[in-house]
Amino acid sequence: MRSMSSPPPAPDQHQVVVVQALGNGFGVAGFVCGLLGAIFGVIVPVFGVPLCVLGVVFGAVGLRRANSEPARGRKGLSLAGTILGILGLILTVLWIVVFVAFSG
């Protein structure tokens, strides 16, 4: 009869731990909407105004989340989205005023 020997011990295995950083989706959305709103606000105000408003709202929500939870990060994108949204609204209103003043 054959004697069964135990298998050799397994080598030391290291466990890999992946930590996923929290994101700030509202900050990114605010930046994208604010940027597109500032661009389209001058070209096509019908699309630019809603995008600018969304940029301001999403940017403000992203700023609030970044301030309350610093681990989320992306505070700069939130601030940029808010600023671009406000600038886009101002540029759009100025463009409409100038267009109406010179078209009549």
pLDDT at 1 over 60: no
Give the whole-number percent of the chain exceeding pLDDT 70: 95
Q: What is the pLDDT of residues 9-59, one digit of tens each?
A: 777 778 888 877 788 899 999 999 999 999 998 888 889 999 999 999 999
Give the whole-number percent of the chain exceeding pLDDT 90: 58
Closest CA to 75 of 21, 23, 19: 23
**Contact between 77 and 32 (Cβ < 8 Å):** no
